[in-house]
Chain A
């Protein structure tokens, strides 16, 4: 009996495509299970805002349903929303896109990434992505039959991409570079001069740049620069953004991609067959967010900035060396001086002090020796987390 069951399992397993079977289910599933089983821990392990969507935005979603807007929208997304997105990008990023042909509304940046990977990658093409990185990147590239090539960044460089490191990884199979600044998990931001160097390399080697700027509003530096705003980069850049983070809309699932017509058109084909369109009521709420949500967004940003100042100072004070992150809502302190690995540190901190952080190793090469702490967490909890971390470090 036992034997038959085992056999049947392996039979079904064999149905699975090798490039999917080979995907890791996330290296630290075990740690996640531990956290989820612990009822009363303070979690700094989330990747989303602690605000609910501002009411004005929620109310438009409700109004959209009340008005009976329950059908599909145009495949590219509601024209009004695309126009608003392009206005928003021109105003805030100095990037010019034609709403009719160079912009597509997607189911979060997650879908936009998937569309870009599938549209660009032929089997065996390499995509270089800066690490530590959002965990979906290598998986998304591999699912599109590409080869993910990690490009580790270092704390000494403020976790910015080092152009020399990048050049070393470029091969004849390199198709694209994927950037994510402000960065999940490091909070790093790259400035104009640094981005210019990357742009020059992309042009020299004829590479596409995919830039995931989902945290771009949450940049606390003086100036925010998008690589998509460089005029000579437009033909080779896909700008990916969405409303999840800055507008606290993770559950609405709205993102967008902007780029040269040919690339957006290719992405559109996949989107049209695989998805049809992003949810209608969420598109209407997104429209409201871009039109009238800026004030609420800036208030949330201010609150993250304050909490960042407080929390990062507290980490350093506790003996965890941490750079002041210039964007997103993550602190990425080094735990090297404790002598523990990231995973050991995270597990011990969870067991002994009931504080959950994400081991840096989850984010790929360059993540060992660090942990990610999300400071988009209630003020009282942050305060208590620091007390516990200090106590933990004192042992």
Chain B
């Protein structure tokens, strides 16, 4: 399906221009790519475009503090985890939130200006939400890989410039 091909390319590089996407997927017109992408945006498959960054490499300015929090929740009779999850998701501090199988229920990533800010958020906002049984917070110390991008700079290996 063309839609999936376009999505695959955008996931690899959201900045690829539509003309190139058309050529790579063998779509005859740029307009058609525009229509596909517009459709994907409208239907909510594409929710946005961001950059994959190595936050720990940003020099100067305050680096963000990030934590991953495992949350145990009492599910509700009507709606299971959705109700609590939606409440948590609305906090801007929360950048990612998923429902997980296994020993915890919700796994979220949060971001703050300082350790204190994150700690306060957990103690005052998160842990006090009705239905939240427990939280377990781990602070991120270093990021090695995100969205398929490895953050460590590999040693450059020089390919031959020309050969048969």
Given A52-B157, A306-B9, A379-B13, are A46 and B162 neighbors across the interface (CB < 8 Å)?
Answer: yes
Segment among A84-92, A147-155, A202-210, A309-317 that sits at the interface with chain B: A309-317
Segment among A35-43, A115-123, A191-199, A273-281 that sits at the interface with chain B: A35-43
Interface centre among B13, B26, B161 (most CB of A within 10 A): B161
**Secondary structure type dominating chain B contacts:** loop
Given A309-B26, A310-B23, A314-B23, are A47 and B164 neighbors across the interface (CB < 8 Å)?
Answer: yes
A63 interface residue (CB < 8 Å to B): no
Q: Mark B125-164, 1 if CB is under 8 A from A, else 0.
A: 0000000000000000000000000000000010111111
Q: Which of A26, A41, A184, A362 contacts B161 (CB 8 A)?
A: A41
B63 interface residue (CB < 8 Å to A): no
A136 interface residue (CB < 8 Å to B): yes
Give the distance to chain A from B163, nearest Cβ to Cβ, in Å.
Answer: 5
A284 interface residue (CB < 8 Å to B): no
A72 interface residue (CB < 8 Å to B): no
Q: Which of A46, A310, A379 contacts B163 (CB 8 A)?
A: A46
B25 interface residue (CB < 8 Å to A): yes
B24 interface residue (CB < 8 Å to A): yes
B20 interface residue (CB < 8 Å to A): yes
Q: Which residues of A contact B164 (CB under 8 A)?
A: 26, 47, 134-136, 184, 358, 362-363
Give the distance to chain B from A154, nearest Cβ to Cβ, in Å.
Answer: 21
A307 interface residue (CB < 8 Å to B): yes
Give the distance to chain B from A136, nearest Cβ to Cβ, in Å.
Answer: 7
Q: Which residues of A contact B160 (CB under 8 A)?
A: 46, 48
Given A52-B157, A383-B20, are A35 and B162 neighbors across the interface (CB < 8 Å)?
Answer: yes
Residue of B nearest to A26 (CB): B164
Give the distance to chain B from A51, nearest Cβ to Cβ, in Å.
Answer: 11
A32 interface residue (CB < 8 Å to B): yes
Q: Which of B25, B26, B161 contacts A35 (CB 8 A)?
A: B161
Is the Cβ of A309 less than 8 Å from the Cβ of B25? yes
Within 8 A of A (CB), among B59-117: none
Q: Which residues of B contact A356 (CB under 8 A)?
A: 161-162
Residue of B nearest to A350 (CB): B162
Give the distance to chain A from B129, nearest Cβ to Cβ, in Å.
Answer: 41
Within 8 A of A (CB), among B1-55: 9, 13, 16, 20, 23-26
Within 8 A of B (CB), among A11-39: 26, 32, 35-36
Q: Which residues of B contact A261 (CB under 8 A)?
A: none
Q: Which residues of B contact A41 (CB under 8 A)?
A: 161
Give the distance to chain B from A287, nearest Cβ to Cβ, in Å.
Answer: 24
Q: Which residues of A contact B25 (CB under 8 A)?
A: 306, 309
Is the Cβ of A47 less than 8 Å from the Cβ of B163? yes
A265 interface residue (CB < 8 Å to B): no
Residue of B nearest to A312 (CB): B23
Give the distance to chain B from A55, nearest Cβ to Cβ, in Å.
Answer: 10
Given A136-B164, A306-B9, are A46 and B23 neighbors across the interface (CB < 8 Å)?
Answer: no
Interface centre among A32, A310, A313, A383 (most CB of B within 10 A): A310
Give the distance to chain A from B152, nearest Cβ to Cβ, in Å.
Answer: 13
Is the Cβ of A43 less than 8 Å from the Cβ of B26? no
Assembly CA distance A37 to B24 (angstroms) = 33
Q: Which residues of B contact A46 (CB under 8 A)?
A: 159-163
Assembly CA distance A372 to B157 (angstroms) = 24
Residue of A nearest to B27 (CB): A309
Is the Cβ of A309 less than 8 Å from the Cβ of B24? yes
A96 interface residue (CB < 8 Å to B): no
Give the distance to chain A from B121, nearest Cβ to Cβ, in Å.
Answer: 37
A353 interface residue (CB < 8 Å to B): no
Q: 9 smallest A-B Cβ distances: which pairs?
A: A45-B162, A306-B24, A310-B23, A135-B164, A35-B162, A43-B161, A310-B24, A313-B23, A47-B163
Of the A-B pairs whose beta carbons lie under 8 Å apart in the complex, a sample of 6, sorted by A's number, is A26-B164, A32-B162, A35-B161, A306-B24, A310-B24, A383-B20
Instruction: Please give 13 more A-B residue pairs, beta carbons under 8 A apart, in addition to A43-B161, A306-B24.
Output: A36-B161, A41-B161, A46-B160, A46-B162, A48-B159, A48-B160, A50-B159, A306-B9, A309-B23, A309-B25, A313-B23, A358-B164, A379-B16
